[in-house]
Amino acid sequence: MIFKRREKASFTGRVREFIAPRKGFWRGLDYISKRMRRLPDSPHRIALGFACGAVASFTPFFGFHFFVAAGFAWLVRGNVLASLFGTIVGNPITFPLISGFSLYLGRLILGRGEGGSDFEAITTAFAAAFNDIWSTVKSWFGYGPSMLDGLIAFFWDVFLPYLIGGMVPGLISGIIFYALLGPLVAAYQERRRKKIQRAQAEQRALADQEADAYREQDGV
């Protein structure tokens, strides 16, 4: 195939590229910002949608942040596509901070202490929970024991505190992004509208000049 890589990237290479892309995160962020500003919607709905994506990034629904963001945006009548862009707030750089602080805060709110809030412990707990889910599903068809007890313990010890603790910084993050993006999108749309109006005016002026030239040639 023409576009196939000559050398297949190794697993470590793919992980490195995901965590620290050679082209840099700024290029991706610049692309997202341009696409978002050009969405055919009001600045309020675009900013609100992005804010919903930011809030969703603070929830423990890993693998489903797109759906959570879209659901939030639909509920508050924000722009759904902008909400998908907003999930960029949760990325390999920010997730260690988001998850650690969310779980730490949630356990403090629930009065359960502070232990097990580091990123490695959190990822280990979620990996074990996904394995327990799969084992439990298989047990329904007679393959192996159910791990429902482990899932219940995970829910009370990790998932629920994470969910509660993530709502506070998530809402603060959403409010900040909404306040910042609304005026930026409005200013961009106004500049774009004026640019289109100038281009249309220039086209009309050129058309009038051509019409005048034809009339002069015809002696009208």
Single-letter residue type at 53: G
Mean pLDDT of each 10-residue bin along the chain, 220 residues long: 50 46 53 64 91 95 92 94 90 89 90 68 79 77 75 87 93 95 87 83 76 65
The reported pLDDT for the residue numbered 18 is 43
The reported pLDDT for the residue numbered 15 is 42
CA distance 216 to 58: 69
Tell me which residue of 62, 189, 81 sits closest to 125, measured CA to CA: 62
CA distance 34 to 106: 35
The reported pLDDT for the residue numbered 66 is 93
The reported pLDDT for the residue numbered 160 is 92
Question: What distance separates the 2 farthest-apart alpha carbons in the chain?
Answer: 96
Place of tokens 């309020």: 44
Q: What is the Cα Rg of the chain in Å?
A: 26
Percent of the chain whose pLDDT exceeds 70? 74
The reported pLDDT for the residue numbered 164 is 94
The reported pLDDT for the residue numbered 1 is 41
The reported pLDDT for the residue numbered 219 is 57
